[in-house]
Amino acid sequence: MSIATKLDEVGRPAWIVAMIAGFIIFWPIGLAILAFTIWSGRMGCRSYAYAGYRDERRAWKEAWRERKREMREMFRSERNRFGGAMSTGNSAFDDYKAETLRRLEEEQAEFNEFLENLRRSRDKAEFEQFMQSRRNATTPATTENNGSSNGSNNLEPWRDQSGENNTPNY
């Protein structure tokens, strides 16, 4: 009696335990057992649960294709092309809706323009403040250094007027 016959008598749990033990002992053994069980069909990997499986799957795929086809046709129709909305049948309401949407789009464009102008003015004010602070920071130091005798310049801001190195210790 072979090992495979003995494991077949116990069933799938025996094959699973043998495969796990094979992986623990030496991984190629576990891999070989896994390949053998799949190839021989002992795990039921190649067989279907029941005979109608293929027919059901084929019917499901066909229904899915039909739904996709219907959606494509709906979006390709003339009424929905270029983002146009479908008519409700009430012309007064359709006119009101079209006017309201046009007005909202105009307001949105105006608001976006307002936000852009606001950003530009804020950026301009921040830049002017930066340039002013830069001008103020360089002007007094230049006048003080022109009259100093230690020869330090603005390129070494870590040195004070006495010439000592005042870098912080971090």
More confident residue, 76 or 13: 13
Measured at the alpha carbon of residue 54, what is the angle toward residues 49 and 60, in degrees to the nearest 5?
A: 115
Range of 117's domain?
Answer: 90-139
Residue 20 falls inside a structural domain = yes
Residue 8 inside a domain? The answer is yes
Task: Decide if 87 contacts 94 (C-beta within 8 A).
Answer: yes
What's the rounded Cα separation, in Å, for the pair 17 and 11?
11
CB 152 within 8 A of CB 164: no
**pLDDT at residue 125 in the model:** 92
Residue 101 lies in a domain: yes
Q: State the pLDDT at residue 117.
A: 93
pLDDT of residue 2: 80
The rounded radius of gyration (Å) of the Cα atoms in the chain is 40
CA atoms of 132 and 125, how far apart (whole Å)? 10
State yes or no: pLDDT of 56 exceeds 70.
Answer: yes
Residue 109: inside a domain = yes
Count of the separate structural domains present in the chain? 2
Q: What confidence score (pLDDT) does residue 122 get?
A: 93
Mean pLDDT of all residues in 15-38: 88
Residue 159 has phi, psi (to 5 degrees) of -95, 135
Q: What is the mean pLDDT of residues 7-21?
A: 84
pLDDT over 60 at 30, yes or no: yes
Res. 160: pLDDT tops 70: no
Q: Is residue 159 scored above 80 in pLDDT?
A: no
Predicted TM-score (pTM) of the model is: 0.32
For residue 7, the tally of other CB atoms under 10 A from its CB is: 19
List, for residues 59-117, the tens digit of each pLDDT value: 888 899 899 888 888 776 655 555 556 677 788 888 898 899 999 999 999 999 999 99
Q: What is the pLDDT at residue 77?
A: 63
Instruction: Indicate the SS3 state at residue 159.
Output: strand
Interval 123-152: pLDDT, tens: 999 999 999 998 888 765 455 555 554 544
Q: Considering the domain boundaries, does residue 19 fall inside one?
A: yes
Token duo for residue 161:
């007027």
Taking a C-beta distance cutoff of 8 angstroms, is the pair 161, 152 a contact?
Answer: yes
